[in-house]
């Protein structure tokens, strides 16, 4: 009992921010849920980023959901990657059931259903407003990653992008990149780029072209084009509630490289376009990256460097980023070190690798008077997590095993009809649904090639005219005919002599043999 009191006192002291906060749930000690030990996350600290980790089915996605819901109520817009297509239910108030009632009771807060403003986006355009980006905004490093280029080939792409920028050429979709690559492989283009930027080998161009075509064959080309997504649309608010923008990539699950790179590029654009705001009472936007291991798997050093840089710098723009993945060890140390708020769901220790990951994860937690960290991590139930966040002074809070509050909206997808109604009813869907192609900045390349061809043809014509006039000035038509006839005779004569020679040699050999 004394232990419980000490626990409640410590948790309450550690998790009572002065400003607005998100209520995550209540502390658990020795198997008891202690409703008084409220666990809160200060909105002020959400731009210090976070990690939500845990084995499959332990409640990670619903933790994302409950945080997103409360951000929306606090008038903070949210962007979420919906990998499995099971977050659209956020739009619809949940219905109570025994499990939810019980959870509410345990926490001393009755379940209160609510729906939220949701915008649906999709990369293919099939499951929401198409979210497109221009190739030149995407940039060579990201394009190189989705094309699976090596460093040399990515370097060539960088040169290509630089050239386009210097010459005022827009690269809007993949056709534009192909056109520029083809142009720079012609003698005119090659000479032009060689002078200012160095030679591009034909084989590298061909490889890049081949990979672009392969990407197009998988229908990935549609993510590039216009109208490009305007990042300011992520900051919408409706009736004092932040809009939750969901990017549903359930139809692109087999292309993790594509959607994870696309998202990183979106973050990059946020970072490049938003003004510095310093520390604020609440974030301007929170970005949730579910299934984040897909972002880090097989990433090159350059790409990891880019993630690390964006995460580090976007904080001062008022944007928080929360990664959600199975094991904390999925996240590289340089990024992990910047994730101040940690919500760790249960871990399993089935295999030696699991045990190793468990040990490593436990080590990253501050010491606790109340728990044996490794033991707690393996015994948490669904919808429970071991938490430590940053308090308003930026100091890590007391580690606490937490029984999480339930989300208020439906925990799953909307039904097909409601889903389509939500998509089609959105003004943003109307804004983005049709792709337009009106890039004429590259016409100059055609003109240059046409001019070059015309010049070559003119030069060729001038040459043959000169030849013709040379021969007509020295010979009469009769003389020309006579010359041509003697040339033909001459050729026939040579052939005749060669035949004669062969016959003589053959007869000589034949004589010898007969001897």
Ligand X SMILES: Nc1ncnc2c1ncn2[C@@H]1O[C@H](COP(=O)(O)OP(=O)(O)OP(=O)(O)O)[C@@H](O)[C@H]1O
Nearer to ligand X, 91 or 103 (CB): 103
**CA dist 208 to 4, 260, 280, Å?**
64, 21, 44
- Cβ 127 to ligand X shortest distance, Å: 18
**Backbone φ, ψ for residue 285 (5° rounding):** -160, 145
Task: Report what 198 binds from Mg ion, ligand X, none; CB cut-off 5-8 Å by kind.
Answer: none
Mark residues 59-98: x for contact with ligand X by CB under 6 A, - for none.
xxxx---x--------------------------------
Task: Report what 72 binds from ligand X, Mg ion, none; CB cut-off 5-8 Å by kind.
Answer: none
Nearer to Mg ion, 60 or 403 (CB): 60
Residues 103-162 contacting ligand X, CB under 6 A:
103
- Cβ 366 to ligand X shortest distance, Å: 24
Dist. CA 214–CA 257, nearest whole Å? 14
- Look up residue 280 and give its two tokens: 């604020």
- Cβ 60 to Mg ion shortest distance, Å: 5
On whether the CB atoms of residues 316 and 323 are closer than 8 A, the answer is no
Other C-beta atoms lying within 10 Å of the C-beta of residue 69: 23
Nearer to ligand X, 85 or 340 (CB): 85
Residues 108-167 contacting Mg ion, CB under 5 A:
none
- Binder among 14, 40, 47, 58 for ligand X (CB under 6 A): 58
Stretch that binds Mg ion, among 23-31, 60-68, 303-311, 445-453 (CB under 5 A): 60-68
Residue 41 has, within 13 A of its CA and on its CB side, a CA count of: 33
- Binder among 1, 56, 417, 469 for ligand X (CB under 6 A): 56
Residues forming a β-bridge with 388: 342
Task: Report what 40 binds from ligand X, Mg ion, none; CB cut-off 5-8 Å by kind.
Answer: none
Nearer to Mg ion, 61 or 245 (CB): 61
| 57 is a contact residue toward ligand X (CB under 6 A) | yes
- Binder among 61, 260, 402, 439 for Mg ion (CB under 5 A): 61
Nearer to Mg ion, 60 or 145 (CB): 60
Dist. CA 414–CA 430, nearest whole Å? 21
Nearest 5°: CA angle at 461, between 459 and 465? 115
Dist. CA 166–CA 178, nearest whole Å? 18
DSSP string, 260-296: HHHHHHHHHHHHHHSPP--S-SS-SEEEEETTTHHHH
Peptide bond into 227 cis (omega under 30): yes
Dist. CA 14–CA 22, nearest whole Å? 14
Residues 323-382 contacting ligand X, CB under 6 A:
382
Task: Report what 28 binds from ligand X, Mg ion, none; CB cut-off 5-8 Å by kind.
Answer: none
| 406 is a contact residue toward ligand X (CB under 6 A) | yes
Dist. CA 447–CA 425, nearest whole Å? 44
- Binder among 50, 54, 140, 340 for ligand X (CB under 6 A): 54
- Cβ 380 to ligand X shortest distance, Å: 11
Other C-beta atoms lying within 10 Å of the C-beta of residue 282: 21
Residues 23-52 contacting Mg ion, CB under 5 A:
none
- Look up residue 419 and give its two tokens: 């889903």
- Cβ 427 to Mg ion shortest distance, Å: 30
Strand-pair category, 129-130 with 118-122: parallel
- Binder among 311, 387, 390, 404 for ligand X (CB under 6 A): 404
On whether the CB atoms of residues 286 and 318 are closer than 8 A, the answer is no
Stretch that binds ligand X, among 160-168, 403-411, 471-479, 501-509 (CB under 6 A): 403-411
* Residues near Mg ion, by CB under 5 A: 60-61
* Residues near ligand X, by CB under 6 A: 54, 56-62, 66, 103, 382-383, 404, 406, 411
């Amino acid at each position: 009992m004394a232990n419980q009191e000490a626990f409640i006192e410590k948790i309450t002291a550690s998790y009572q921010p002065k400003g607005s906060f998100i209520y995550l749930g209540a502390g658990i000690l020795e198997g008891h849920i202690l409703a008084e030990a409220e666990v809160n996350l200060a909105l002020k600290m959400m731009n210090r980023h976070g990690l939500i980790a845990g084995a499959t089915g332990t409640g990670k996605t619903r933790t994302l959901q409950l945080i997103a819901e409360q951000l929306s109520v606090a008038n903070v817009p949210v962007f979420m990657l919906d990998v499995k297509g099971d977050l659209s239910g956020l739009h619809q108030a949940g219905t109570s059931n025994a499990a939810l009632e019980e959870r509410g009771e345990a926490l001393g807060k009755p379940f209160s259903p609510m729906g939220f403003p949701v915008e649906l986006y999709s990369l293919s355009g099939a499951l929401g407003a198409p979210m497109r980006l221009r190739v030149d905004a995407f940039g060579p490093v990201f394009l190189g990653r989705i094309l699976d280029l090596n460093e040399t080939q990515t370097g060539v792409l960088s040169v290509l992008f630089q050239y386009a920028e210097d010459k005022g050429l827009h690269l809007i979709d993949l056709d534009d990149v192909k056109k520029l690559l083809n142009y720079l492989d012609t003698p005119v283009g090659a000479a032009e780029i060689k002078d200012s930027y160095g030679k591009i080998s034909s084989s590298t161009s061909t490889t890049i072209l081949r990979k672009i075509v392969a990407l197009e064959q998988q229908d990935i080309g549609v993510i590039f084009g216009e109208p490009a997504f305007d990042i300011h649309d992520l900051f919408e608010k409706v009736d004092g509630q932040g809009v939750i923008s969901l990017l549903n990539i359930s139809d692109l699950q087999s292309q993790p490289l594509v959607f994870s790179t696309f998202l990183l590029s979106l973050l990059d654009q946020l970072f490049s376009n938003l003004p510095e705001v310093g520390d604020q009472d609440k974030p301007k936007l929170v970005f949730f990256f579910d299934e984040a291991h897909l972002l880090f798997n097989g990433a090159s050093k350059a790409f990891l460097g880019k993630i690390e840089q964006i995460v580090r710098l976007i904080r001062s723009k008022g944007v928080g980023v929360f990664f959600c993945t199975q094991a904390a060890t999925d996240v590289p140390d340089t990024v992990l070190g910047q994730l101040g708020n940690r919500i760790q769901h249960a871990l399993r220790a089935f295999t030696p690798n699991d045990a190793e990951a468990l040990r490593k994860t436990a080590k990253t937690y501050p010491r606790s008077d109340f728990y044996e960290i490794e033991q707690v991590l393996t015994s948490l139930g669904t919808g429970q997590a071991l938490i430590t966040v940053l308090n308003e002074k930026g100091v890590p809070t007391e580690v606490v095993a937490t029984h999480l509050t339930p989300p208020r909206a439906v925990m799953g997808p909307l039904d097909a009809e409601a889903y389509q109604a939500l998509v089609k009813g959105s003004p943003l869907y109307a804004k983005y649904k049709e792709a337009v192609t009106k890039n004429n900045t590259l016409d100059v390349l055609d003109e240059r090639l046409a001019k070059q061809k015309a010049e070559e043809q003119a030069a060729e014509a001038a040459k043959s005219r000169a030849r013709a006039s040379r021969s007509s000035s020295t010979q009469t038509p009769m003389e020309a005919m006579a010359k041509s006839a003697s040339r033909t005779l001459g050729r026939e004569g040579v052939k005749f002599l060669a035949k004669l020679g062969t016959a003589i040699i053959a007869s000589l050999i034949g004589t010898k043999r007969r001897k």
